[in-house]
Amino acid sequence: VIRCRAAVAWAVGKPLSVEEVEVSPPKAGEVRVKIVATGICRTDDHVLEGFFPNVVFPVIPGHEGAGIVESVGEGVTSVKPGDKVIPLCIPQCGACSFCLNPESNYCLKSHVSGPQNLLPDKTSRFTCKGKQVHHFLWVSTFAEYTVIPEYAVAKIDAAAPLDKVCLLGCGFPTGYGAAINIAKVKPGSTCAIFGLGGVGLSVVMGCKAAGASRIIAIDINKDKFAKAKELGATDCISPHDFKKPIQEVLTEMTGHGVDYSFEVIGDVDTLTAALASCNMNTGVCVMVGVPASGSVISINPMLLLSGRTWKGTLLGGWKMRDCIPKLVSSYLEKKFNSDVLITHTLPIAKVNEGFELLRAGK
């Protein structure tokens, strides 16, 4: 058993508490990982606010990390102690009907199909103050050590800097893949991105890499505009600067609406606006942001009847175990620069300051 620090969420609405926890050794088919770095993603904030479905408290959040294998359980063959890895918040079991479908990236062992609050054998590897603590998406990267099923871990290049490639565990591939894999943005097209956080900026990078000629970045926080332009946005607009709905502004700017729109906030009103802002015949709107659990959207069916396509994505369509090592290699070859997305680096003891920065749009 390893004793280490972890940021524990004891209850909804409470700040994280950095505690000493006990982390049990891996059982058969499991891997114990020393987490070196983790990103803070809006999804972790949804957990703390109680907006993420089927999470059981107390829980150790965090799902965007990178680390080094400390030990492996019986039967584990794909990684060994000392390997650098990225934990996968969408596993890839390789055996379910979705894993076997080349067009699907969502494994049936994922949280939307069945909660991942305990490991597959329905037990936890974490205890704190004599109490069982739950896992989050099987990864729980806000712990210095964590135990994960083998099929939710991807071995990556030994040269990868873990404090940079941790973003490839969720935020960057989600946005980048939404443009490249899900929308399949065509060269010369026009795109609109609603929300310029880390994931929204990754969509901007994906649209640029796909050859879009016009990339309209939308946010109420104008501090985001300089970075969006640096990454490829051609226009930056704030809905607060207009009296009319933003979809009307975008339609006027482009003639008939954009070819591709991306909602990267998770808000029902902007979701509807994003759908209405793409052109009525061949426009594609991709939902990337995660709305609060239980949200309901009402839309005018005519928005879809004339031919628009509305799609959602988890993790940008990448089959995680297959694709994350390739994305890390692309990062090392400087095919994209996800380092631009890193704004602050804090020790785990200051994790709550990180959430304050996130909520402040910084």
**pLDDT 10s digits, 244-278:** 999 999 999 999 999 999 999 999 999 999 999 99
pLDDT at 292: 81
* Arch. (CATH architecture) of 2-169+319-360: Alpha-Beta Complex (3.90)
pLDDT above 90 for 22: yes
Extents of the domains making up the chain: 2-169+319-360, 174-314
- Please list, residue by residue across 139-172, b when 16 or more beta carbons sit within 10 angstroms of its beta carbon and e when fewer do: bbbbbbbbbbbbbbbbbbeeebebebbbbbbbbb
Using pLDDT thresholds of 50, 70 and 90, give the confidence band for residue 295.
confident
pLDDT above 90 for 293: no
Query: What ranges in the chain are assigned the alpha helix state H?
Result: 42-49, 97-100, 162-165, 171-177, 198-209, 225-230, 246-254, 268-277, 302-305, 320-332, 351-359
Quote the pTM value. 0.95
pLDDT at 353: 98
**CA separation for the pair 82, 230 (Å, rounded):** 37
Using omega within 30 degrees of 0 as the cis cutoff, is the peptide bond preceding 58 cis? yes
The class level of CATH for 174-314 reads alpha beta
**CA separation for the pair 231, 202 (Å, rounded):** 9
**Structure-token pair, residue 344:** 């602050």
Question: 97-127, pLDDT tens digit by residue?
Answer: 999 999 999 999 999 888 999 999 999 999 9
Using pLDDT thresholds of 50, 70 and 90, give the confidence band for residue 91.
very high
Query: What ranges in 96-161 are assigned the alpha helix state H?
Result: 97-100
Sign of CA dihedral 182, 329, 86, 43: negative
Q: Which whole-number Å values give the CA distances from 135 to 53, 62, 141, 309, in the listed order?
A: 14, 9, 9, 36
Query: What ranges in 245-290 are assigned the alpha helix state H?
Result: 246-254, 268-277
**Selection from 251, 224, 86 nearest residue 168 by Cα:** 86
Residue range 37-52: average pLDDT? 94
pLDDT above 90 for 34: yes
Q: Do the two domains 2-169+319-360 and 174-314 of this chain adopt the same fold?
A: no
Contacts of 182 (CB under 8 A, 6+ apart): 286, 311, 313, 316, 317
**Structure-token pair, residue 235:** 């226009």
